[in-house]
């Protein structure tokens, strides 16, 4: 084996030992391979998107630069490695500048292996070399491709002899080894954000966290991190928590268990932990609760339908798009035009309290909905009912309301003439009604005048006077 071949083999073996299989892949058919290089971003690196509105993203990872290389037979003694440099997010002129710098590093180290030097430069110095700083700006139009806003490093301004506006022209002729791996008209912003999210998850999966519920230490791959607050709990505890909440219908309460924390789990996180059946229930209830919060959405009152119905502003008529049922959005009965909503006996009983506690605007709305006469009747009947409840008792035989003004506790119904006890409402015999109060086994024994103030001048009443 020649010295060049031995140096090449040692260099490839060294790269394989330093980088894992995702970073370095050695070619099988030739002396070469592929290296994927994730550039080290400064802390708090931001990406700003300028379009219809400006949006800012915190970025920790950008897609890697890919260095494909092949080692000629006389490398490293004479020839440089043949290579291409590709990227999803750098421009062709930026990559051309990097290629020129790699060539310069080879000239400085000619006769020695240079791949590791290239890798270190690309990973650690490329940002400073290209003068890329945070925030990295992206200009984005409606259907236009993403264009990276770059400084004037690497470009020169050329004056026009025809009086046209100045134009920016590349300082360097584009290097054919600089490869742009995406269509220039493709919006790569989603790809950048997806890659950053995937890499963040990869780092999270390798860390150890202590669950705040079971207090056990687990790898991040077995944990769930709430995105807003970054609180971490193990998936076992969160799965049980989510399942209970969804079964109880509390789909709006899948929040972080940390006290006073309002961060919510995302639907993708919920889907990851619960089964398909529970997630379908969660998805359905979440949609329904969202529709319930919309003022212009009601549901068809037919039990067999219950379809969501959009309602036009300033109208009380809803028409179900599924069953074509026209109904009043206030009382949920068939649409009755300008007529007031009809009130059932049960609804009338609760109308008075609702009306009294309502604001001036609420009272006006209720009067328009039910009519002033209905409201007045509800209030009057409610007060009458309260008075009867406080001052009267119902006859145990016919239910007629009886008021006790004076006298003993043996009562006679004014309607059916039944004798009864005012204390226990028990029915008394007509032959000897007072036996109820004289019998020691009776619950009202010796209580004929219980609760009655008797003056000395008062005499006992007869049955006829009672």
**Residues designated catalytic:** 408
Q: Is 161 helix (H, G, I), strand (E, B) or coil?
A: coil
- Residues in CB range of 66: below 8 A, 6 or more apart: 34, 35, 36, 37, 85, 86, 87, 181
Q: Give the 3-state secondary structure of 69-92.
A: EECCCCCCCCCCCEEEEEECCCCH
Give the count of beta carbons closer than 10 Å to the beta carbon of residue 106.
19
Contact 101, 129 (CB under 8 A): yes
d(CA 266, CA 250): 15
Query: For tokens 């119905």, what's the residue?
Result: 309
Main-chain dihedrals φ then ψ at residue 226, nearest 5 degrees? -70, 130
136-139 and 46-50 as β-strands: parallel, antiparallel, unpaired? parallel
Distances (CA, A) of 257 to 210, 213, 226, 260, 385: 14, 8, 10, 8, 48
Question: What is the distance between the alpha carbons of residues 62 and 37, in angstroms, rounded to a whole number?
Answer: 10
In a 10 Å sphere around its CB, with 0-12 CB exposed, 13-18 middle and 19+ buried, how is residue 118 labelled? buried
- Which is nearest to 19 in space by CA: 117, 138, 116? 116
β-strand partners of 393: 402
Residue 335, phi then psi, degrees to nearest 5: -60, 130
Under 8 Å CB-to-CB from 395, ≥6 apart: which residues? 401, 402, 413, 415, 416, 418, 420
The residues near 402 (Cβ < 8 Å, ≥ 6 apart) are 392, 393, 394, 395, 411, 413, 414
Q: What does the buried/exposed string (b/e) look like for 215-250 if buried means 16 or more CB atoms within 10 Å of the residue's CB?
A: eeebebeebbbbeeeeebbbbbbbbebbeebbeeee
């Amino acid at each position: 084996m020649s010295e060049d071949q031995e140096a090449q083999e040692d260099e490839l073996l060294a790269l394989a030992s330093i980088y894992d299989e995702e970073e370095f892949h050695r070619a099988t058919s030739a002396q070469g391979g592929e290296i994927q290089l994730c550039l080290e971003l400064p802390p708090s690196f931001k990406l700003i998107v300028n379009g219809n509105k400006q949006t800012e993203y915190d970025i920790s990872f950008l897609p890697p630069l890919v260095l494909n290389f092949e080692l000629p037979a006389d490398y490293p003694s004479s020839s440089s490695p043949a290579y291409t440099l590709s990227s999803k997010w750098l421009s062709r002129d930026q990559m051309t500048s990097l290629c020129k710098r790699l060539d310069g590093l080879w000239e400085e180290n000619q006769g020695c292996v240079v791949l590791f030097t290239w890798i270190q430069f690309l990973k650690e110095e490329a940002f400073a070399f290209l003068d890329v700083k945070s925030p990295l700006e992206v200009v984005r139009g409606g259907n236009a491709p993403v264009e990276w806003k770059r400084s004037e490093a690497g470009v020169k301004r050329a004056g026009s002899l025809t009086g046209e506006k100045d134009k920016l022209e590349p300082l360097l002729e584009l290097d054919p080894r600089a490869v742009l791996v995406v269509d220039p008209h493709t919006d790569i912003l989603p790809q950048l954000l997806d890659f950053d999210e995937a890499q963040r998850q990869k780092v999270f999966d390798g860390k150890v966290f202590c669950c705040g519920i079971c207090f056990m230490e687990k790898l991040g791959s077995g944990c769930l991190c709430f995105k807003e607050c970054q609180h971490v709990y193990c998936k076992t505890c969160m799965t049980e928590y989510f399942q209970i909440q969804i079964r109880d219908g509390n789909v709006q309460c899948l929040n972080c268990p940390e006290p006073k924390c309002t961060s919510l789990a995302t639907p993708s996180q919920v889907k990851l932990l619960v089964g398909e059946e529970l997630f379908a229930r969660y998805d359905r209830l979440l949609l329904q609760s969202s529709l319930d919060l919309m003022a212009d959405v009601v549901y068809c009152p037919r039990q067999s339908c219950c379809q969501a119905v959009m309602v036009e502003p300033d109208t009380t008529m809803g028409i179900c798009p599924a069953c074509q049922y026209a109904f009043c959005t206030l009382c949920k009965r068939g649409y009755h035009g300008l007529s007031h909503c009809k009130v059932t006996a049960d609804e009338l009983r609760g109308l008075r309290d609702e009306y009294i506690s309502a604001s001036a605007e609420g009272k006006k709305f209720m009067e328009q909905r039910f009519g002033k006469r209905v409201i007045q009747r509800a209030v009057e009947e409610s007060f009458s009912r309260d008075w009867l409840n406080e001052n009267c008792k119902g006859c145990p035989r016919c239910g007629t309301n009886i008021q006790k003004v004076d006298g003993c506790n043996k009562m006679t119904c004014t309607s059916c003439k039944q004798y009864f006890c005012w204390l226990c409402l028990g029915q008394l015999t007509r032959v000897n009604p007072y036996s109820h109060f004289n019998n020691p086994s009776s619950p009202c024994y010796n209580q004929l005048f219980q609760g009655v103030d008797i003056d000395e001048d008062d005499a006992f009443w007869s049955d006829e006077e009672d």
